[in-house]
Amino acid sequence: MTEVIYAIPDIHGQDALLEDALDRIARDGGKDARIIFLGDLVDRGPNSRAVIDRLMTGQAQGRPWTVLRGNHDQMFVDFLDSGVIQSPHIRSGLSWLHYRLGGAATLASYGLDVSEYTTEWEAARRAVPQAHRDWLTALPLWQEAGELLFVHAGIRPGLSLPAQDPADLMWIRDGFLDYEAPHPWLVVHGHTALEMPTHFGNRIDLDGGAAYGRPLWPAVFEGRDAWLLTETGRIPL
């Protein structure tokens, strides 16, 4: 029997949308459904702390949930570890605390009032529980499941999984989004926000832009067959 796998893309601190997505999955596959979260749990939305708490609690309760690490999760960890707010991967040069990237919103969910110009690194290290930092740091970068590969941003075509650069798995666009030949798997990813999740043949981009006020679309996979979950059930993807 083909395993049924559910996926939830970039949440970006939208805990209410996450709750709704989990409810849709429970109605379709039961409370013990296998779910893979594609990373970017934090930033931009108002409740990043609640998102992390919800996912940590689910895993602690034994739910078969795999949570991947996205580039925004990595920027949060980097800030907590060393106070860095710049990334060479941000082409605009904006800092993680800029409202467009959303770091300040993440820190606000921990009770900190910061701005792009007021980092309060030590206050953040005190405010964010060590358990959250350890959990984020330990998140995997990919999950292989039969013919499917789940990853936050994508892969460098032609390289094996062990040979992939972690930065590519969290950040890649050029060289992946424009690659049209088959991969060894159907790659399921987020990272690049679209108006609507889209199937491109060799990959599926599930990021429908929840970070920008659009819906958070959970998806369901049975082998390479894929559907989005709506309020009224499945629609083919």
pLDDT tens string 183-207 = 999 999 999 999 999 999 999 999 9
Report yes or no on 232 lying in a domain: yes
- Residue-wise pLDDT tens digits, 23-59: 999 999 999 999 999 999 999 999 999 999 999 999 9
User: Residue 120 corresponds to which tokens in the numbers above?
Assistant: 């309060």
For residue 179, what are its two tokens?
């690659």
| Helices 130-138, 71-82: crossing angle, 10 deg rounding | 130
Within a domain: residue 97?
A: yes
Considering Cα of 216, then 17, then 8, then 152, what sign does the dihedral take?
A: positive
How much is the CA Rg of the chain, to the nearest whole Å? 17
Q: List the structure tokens of 201.
A: 């043949």
- 144 within domain boundaries: yes
**How far is residue 22's CA from residue 27's CA, in Å, rounded to a whole number?**
9
Instruction: Provide the domain count of the chain.
Output: 1
Q: Is 77 within the bounds of a domain?
A: yes
* 22 within some domain: no
164 within a domain of the structure (yes/no): yes
Give CA–CA dist 204/190, Å, rounded: 8
CATH number at residue 126: 3.60.21.10
What pLDDT band is residue 173 in, cutting at 50, 70 and 90? very high
Q: Is 23 within a domain?
A: no
Is 107 inside a domain boundary? yes
Positive or negative, the CA dihedral 174, 180, 185, 191 is: positive
Q: Is the pLDDT of residue 143 over 60?
A: yes
- Give me the domain span that covers residue 54: 4-17+28-236
Dihedrals phi, psi of 165, to nearest 5 degrees: -75, 125
SS3 state at 162: coil
Q: pTM, whole model, 2 decimals?
A: 0.96
pLDDT band for position 117 (cuts 50, 70, 90)? low
